[in-house]
Amino acid sequence: MIPARIPPRSRAAASRWRATPASALIVGLVLALGCHDSPSEPRGEVTFQSVTKTTLSPRFGPQLRTVVRDEASWEATWRELWGDAPPPRPAIDFRREMAVVATASLSCFGDVAIEDVDREGGQLTVRIADAGPETLCLCIAPTYTFHVVRATRVDGPARFAVRTTPPSCG
Protein backbone atom coordinates (compact mmCIF):
# COMPACT_ATOMS: atom_id res chain seq x y z
CA MET A 1 0.00 0.00 0.00
CA ILE A 2 1.29 3.43 -0.93
CA PRO A 3 0.78 6.09 1.76
CA ALA A 4 -1.39 8.98 0.72
CA ARG A 5 0.46 12.16 0.13
CA ILE A 6 -0.83 15.11 2.15
CA PRO A 7 -0.17 18.53 0.72
CA PRO A 8 1.92 20.72 3.11
CA ARG A 9 -0.88 23.20 3.75
CA SER A 10 -3.33 20.42 4.72
CA ARG A 11 -0.79 18.76 7.04
CA ALA A 12 -0.39 22.01 8.99
CA ALA A 13 -4.14 22.43 9.23
CA ALA A 14 -4.55 18.84 10.43
CA SER A 15 -1.99 19.31 13.23
CA ARG A 16 -3.68 22.45 14.63
CA TRP A 17 -5.94 22.03 17.64
CA ARG A 18 -9.35 23.55 17.19
CA ALA A 19 -11.43 24.70 20.12
CA THR A 20 -14.94 23.35 19.92
CA PRO A 21 -17.71 23.68 22.50
CA ALA A 22 -17.19 20.02 23.51
CA SER A 23 -13.43 20.41 24.03
CA ALA A 24 -13.95 23.61 26.02
CA LEU A 25 -16.43 21.77 28.26
CA ILE A 26 -13.97 18.90 28.84
CA VAL A 27 -11.13 21.28 29.73
CA GLY A 28 -13.44 23.17 32.12
CA LEU A 29 -14.51 19.96 33.87
CA VAL A 30 -10.92 18.77 34.27
CA LEU A 31 -9.92 22.10 35.81
CA ALA A 32 -12.93 22.16 38.13
CA LEU A 33 -12.36 18.59 39.33
CA GLY A 34 -8.63 19.12 39.78
CA CYS A 35 -9.08 22.27 41.88
CA HIS A 36 -11.86 21.19 44.24
CA ASP A 37 -9.70 20.52 47.30
CA SER A 38 -9.05 23.83 49.04
CA PRO A 39 -7.86 24.31 52.65
CA SER A 40 -11.29 25.57 53.70
CA GLU A 41 -13.36 22.72 52.20
CA PRO A 42 -15.15 20.54 54.80
CA ARG A 43 -14.01 17.19 53.34
CA GLY A 44 -11.14 15.92 51.26
CA GLU A 45 -8.01 13.86 51.29
CA VAL A 46 -5.16 15.03 53.46
CA THR A 47 -1.82 13.55 52.55
CA PHE A 48 1.01 13.54 55.07
CA GLN A 49 4.67 12.57 55.25
CA SER A 50 6.94 12.11 58.25
CA VAL A 51 9.48 14.88 58.82
CA THR A 52 11.07 13.40 61.96
CA LYS A 53 10.32 10.91 64.70
CA THR A 54 12.91 11.45 67.41
CA THR A 55 13.70 10.41 70.97
CA LEU A 56 16.10 12.62 72.91
CA SER A 57 17.68 11.41 76.15
CA PRO A 58 18.20 12.54 78.82
CA ARG A 59 15.74 15.34 78.22
CA PHE A 60 12.42 16.68 79.40
CA GLY A 61 10.32 18.76 77.05
CA PRO A 62 6.91 20.35 76.72
CA GLN A 63 3.82 18.28 75.96
CA LEU A 64 2.79 19.41 72.47
CA ARG A 65 -0.11 18.47 70.25
CA THR A 66 -0.33 21.23 67.70
CA VAL A 67 -0.79 22.19 64.07
CA VAL A 68 1.64 24.80 62.71
CA ARG A 69 0.46 26.92 59.78
CA ASP A 70 3.05 29.73 59.55
CA GLU A 71 6.83 30.15 59.43
CA ALA A 72 7.21 32.06 62.73
CA SER A 73 5.31 29.40 64.69
CA TRP A 74 7.28 26.67 62.90
CA GLU A 75 10.58 28.24 63.97
CA ALA A 76 9.42 28.53 67.60
CA THR A 77 7.99 24.99 67.70
CA TRP A 78 11.14 23.47 66.14
CA ARG A 79 13.32 25.18 68.74
CA GLU A 80 10.97 24.10 71.54
CA LEU A 81 11.16 20.47 70.38
CA TRP A 82 14.93 20.29 70.01
CA GLY A 83 16.09 22.64 72.77
CA ASP A 84 19.17 24.86 72.59
CA ALA A 85 20.90 23.22 69.62
CA PRO A 86 18.25 22.37 67.02
CA PRO A 87 19.24 20.84 63.68
CA PRO A 88 18.32 22.74 60.51
CA ARG A 89 14.57 23.21 60.28
CA PRO A 90 12.96 21.49 57.28
CA ALA A 91 11.38 23.88 54.79
CA ILE A 92 7.60 23.75 54.60
CA ASP A 93 5.50 25.67 52.06
CA PHE A 94 2.84 27.02 54.40
CA ARG A 95 0.69 28.20 51.50
CA ARG A 96 0.00 24.52 50.66
CA GLU A 97 1.22 22.58 53.70
CA MET A 98 1.22 22.59 57.49
CA ALA A 99 3.24 20.82 60.16
CA VAL A 100 1.54 18.53 62.68
CA VAL A 101 3.40 17.91 65.95
CA ALA A 102 2.74 15.36 68.70
CA THR A 103 4.91 14.52 71.70
CA ALA A 104 4.69 11.43 73.90
CA SER A 105 2.78 11.87 77.14
CA LEU A 106 5.40 9.93 79.13
CA SER A 107 8.91 11.10 79.93
CA CYS A 108 10.18 7.51 80.30
CA PHE A 109 9.53 4.77 77.75
CA GLY A 110 7.08 7.02 75.98
CA ASP A 111 6.39 6.71 72.30
CA VAL A 112 4.13 8.59 69.95
CA ALA A 113 3.18 8.16 66.30
CA ILE A 114 0.95 10.26 64.08
CA GLU A 115 -1.07 7.57 62.34
CA ASP A 116 -3.54 9.56 60.25
CA VAL A 117 -4.54 13.11 59.34
CA ASP A 118 -8.10 13.63 58.05
CA ARG A 119 -10.47 16.44 57.21
CA GLU A 120 -13.90 15.71 58.68
CA GLY A 121 -16.84 18.08 58.89
CA GLY A 122 -14.74 21.20 58.39
CA GLN A 123 -12.16 20.30 61.03
CA LEU A 124 -8.82 18.56 61.04
CA THR A 125 -8.60 15.24 62.90
CA VAL A 126 -5.16 13.93 63.82
CA ARG A 127 -5.05 10.32 65.01
CA ILE A 128 -2.07 9.45 67.17
CA ALA A 129 -0.84 6.39 69.05
CA ASP A 130 0.62 7.32 72.44
CA ALA A 131 2.29 4.87 74.83
CA GLY A 132 0.45 4.98 78.15
CA PRO A 133 1.81 4.49 81.65
CA GLU A 134 3.14 1.12 82.77
CA THR A 135 3.76 0.59 86.47
CA LEU A 136 6.39 -2.12 85.92
CA CYS A 137 8.83 0.10 83.99
CA LEU A 138 11.84 1.44 85.89
CA CYS A 139 12.88 4.83 84.55
CA ILE A 140 16.60 5.57 84.70
CA ALA A 141 16.82 8.62 82.42
CA PRO A 142 13.99 10.76 81.06
CA THR A 143 13.35 10.72 77.33
CA TYR A 144 11.52 13.14 75.09
CA THR A 145 9.86 11.59 72.05
CA PHE A 146 8.10 13.51 69.30
CA HIS A 147 6.73 12.96 65.81
CA VAL A 148 6.41 15.70 63.20
CA VAL A 149 4.67 15.32 59.84
CA ARG A 150 4.04 17.68 56.95
CA ALA A 151 0.49 17.51 55.62
CA THR A 152 -1.80 19.08 53.07
CA ARG A 153 -2.89 22.40 54.53
CA VAL A 154 -6.31 22.45 56.19
CA ASP A 155 -7.58 25.66 57.77
CA GLY A 156 -9.86 25.55 60.80
CA PRO A 157 -9.85 23.82 64.16
CA ALA A 158 -7.85 20.66 64.87
CA ARG A 159 -8.71 17.73 67.11
CA PHE A 160 -6.25 15.07 68.31
CA ALA A 161 -7.76 11.60 68.77
CA VAL A 162 -5.46 9.47 70.96
CA ARG A 163 -5.17 5.70 70.91
CA THR A 164 -3.27 4.53 74.00
CA THR A 165 -0.71 1.79 73.42
CA PRO A 166 1.43 -0.13 75.93
CA PRO A 167 4.92 1.30 76.49
CA SER A 168 8.08 -0.61 75.78
CA CYS A 169 10.06 -0.92 79.00
CA GLY A 170 13.16 -1.84 77.05
CA–CA distance, 123 with 121 (Å, rounded to integer): 6
Number of domains into which the chain is organized: 1
Residue 105 lies in domain: 48-165
**Can you give the pLDDT at residue 170?**
62
Distance CA 37, CA 142 (A): 42
Tell me which residue of 126, 104, 105 sits closest to 53, measured CA to CA. Answer: 104
What value, to the nearest 5°, has the Cα angle with vertex 24 and ends 18 and 26? 115
> Considering the domain boundaries, does residue 28 fall inside one?
no
**Is residue 103 in some structural domain?**
yes
Please answer whether residues 93 and 117 qualify as being in contact, where contact means their C-beta atoms are separated by less than 8 angstroms.
Answer: no
CA distance 51 to 91: 10
> What is the pTM (predicted TM-score) of this model?
0.74
Residue 158 lies in a domain: yes
Q: Is residue 11 part of a domain?
A: no
- The reply to whether 25 falls in a domain is no
Per-residue pLDDT of the chain in tens (170 residues, 90 and over written 9): 555 554 555 444 444 445 555 555 444 444 444 444 455 555 667 999 999 999 998 888 889 999 999 999 999 999 999 998 899 999 999 999 999 999 998 777 788 999 999 998 889 999 999 987 666 678 888 889 999 999 999 999 999 999 988 877 76
Per-residue pLDDT at 166: 82
- Residue 121, in any domain of the structure: yes
Confirm if 155 and 122 have CB atoms less than 8 A apart.
no
In a domain, residue 35? The reply is: no
- Per-residue confidence (pLDDT) for residue 57, from 0 to 100: 87
**Alpha-carbon gap, residue 71 to 73, rounded angstroms:** 6
How high is the pLDDT of residue 133? 62
**What 8-state DSSP symbol labels residue 95?**
T
**pLDDT of the residue at 107:** 78
Q: Give the amino acid at 91.
A: A
Residue 138 lies in a domain: yes
